[in-house]
Amino acid sequence: MFDQDEKVRTHLDVQTNVQSKTSSKLVSLNLQTIKVACSNCNLRELCMPLGLSSAELDRIDDMVASRRKIKRGSTLFRNGERFSNLYAIRTGFFKTCVASEDGRDQVTGFQMAGEIIGLDGIVNDNHTCDAVALEDAEVCVMPFDRIEDLSREVNALQRHVHKIMSREIVRENGVMLLLGSMRAEERLAAFLLNLVQRLHARGFSQSELVLRMTREEIGSYLGLKLETVSRTFSRFVEDGIVEVKQRHVRIIDTDALKDIVNPRSSH
């Protein structure tokens, strides 16, 4: 199915490791447990404001209290746990999900390196969703008190915090549009385009990706059953839009995907 499977695999394996670049670089520069420091983190442009003075950068470094490793399958935080930190994802991949009292649950998002999670906990000082690592991960732990203290003094940080929360609101608006008014094909196409776009912003391929989540998790996020996700993938393959080999996906025809999401633009 893939022309050169090995090549794809290796390429994709590199993709998965934003961190392999990061941490190995750091380790080679210094030794072992390097001082936690945003100022020399190469994800900085993703999770921190731009254009800080070096004095401000020094202060920002204090924001990260520690790092924490999360093994695949375990949770960073859980619904009901006390909120005290936001987390910046250094490496790895997460899902967040909420549950109704009767057990149904809903994946509310997938998060990757450079993204911030934990914002749900601010309102009631309690987390209202679970954050589960879909692969071994590492996060920067940022006590929210410190963030608030610092953002009173560093305007750019204050603005940045506001933007991050607003971005999440806008993202969720988009998901609501998807869940409320799109059909299965449109949902999956939008999902793939969104994932690949975010990966591309992190330096990866525009056309190849490795799904870190199961069909069931994709389905939950998209409001579909796993069988429907699987079938829709198969249809895309039949139509020559993508190639799928388990969790490895290669997008053959990006425009076709865009047309599916947005029928009008088929000029």
- Contact flag: residue 214 with a copy of itself (CB under 8 A): no
As a whole number of angstroms, the distance between CA 53 and CA 171 comes to: 30
SS3 state of residue 42: coil
- Contact flag: residue 98 with a copy of itself (CB under 8 A): yes
Tell whether the torsion through CA atoms of 244, 250, 252 and 256 is positive or negative: positive
Give residue 50's identity as a one-letter amino acid code.
L
As a whole number of angstroms, the distance between CA 58 and CA 80 comes to: 34
> Which segment (87-95, 189-197, 222-230, 258-266) binds DNA by CB under 7 A?
222-230
- Contact flag: residue 49 with a copy of itself (CB under 8 A): no
Which segments of the chain does DSSP mark as H helices, in order? 5-16, 18-29, 44-47, 54-61, 144-153, 155-181, 184-201, 215-222, 226-238, 254-261
Q: Closer to DNA at the Cβ: 20 or 234?
A: 234
From residue 37, alpha-carbon distances to 18, 25, 42, 59 in Å are: 17, 14, 10, 10
Q: Closer to a copy of itself at the Cβ: 166 or 206?
A: 166
> Which segment (17-25, 84-92, 170-178, 225-233) binds DNA by CB under 7 A?
225-233
- Contact flag: residue 162 with a copy of itself (CB under 8 A): yes
- Contact flag: residue 37 with DNA (CB under 7 A): no
Phi (first) and psi of residue 206, to 5 degrees: -85, -10
- Contact flag: residue 97 with DNA (CB under 7 A): no
> Which segment (27-35, 77-85, 113-121, 219-227) binds DNA by CB under 7 A?
219-227
Q: Which does 102 bind (CB under 5 to 8 A by kind): a copy of itself, DNA, none?
A: a copy of itself
As a whole number of angstroms, the distance between CA 178 and CA 202 comes to: 24
- Contact flag: residue 208 with a copy of itself (CB under 8 A): no
- Contact flag: residue 233 with DNA (CB under 7 A): yes
As a whole number of angstroms, the distance between CA 191 and CA 193 comes to: 6
- Contact flag: residue 126 with DNA (CB under 7 A): no
Q: Which of 28, 32, 54, 265 binds a copy of itself (CB under 8 A)?
A: 265
Q: Which does 60 bind (CB under 5 to 8 A by kind): a copy of itself, DNA, none?
A: none
Q: Is residue 169 a contact partner of residue 211, using CB atoms and an 8 Å limit?
A: no
Q: Closer to a copy of itself at the Cβ: 106 or 214?
A: 106
Number of neighbouring beta carbons within 10 Å of residue 156:
16
Q: Is residue 113 a contact partner of residue 203, using CB atoms and an 8 Å limit?
A: no
Residues that bind DNA (CB under 7 A): 183-185, 211, 214-216, 223-231, 233-234, 244, 246-247
Residues that bind a copy of itself (CB under 8 A): 98, 100-106, 108, 119-123, 128-129, 148, 151-153, 155, 158-159, 161-163, 165-170, 172-177, 179-181, 220-223, 261-265
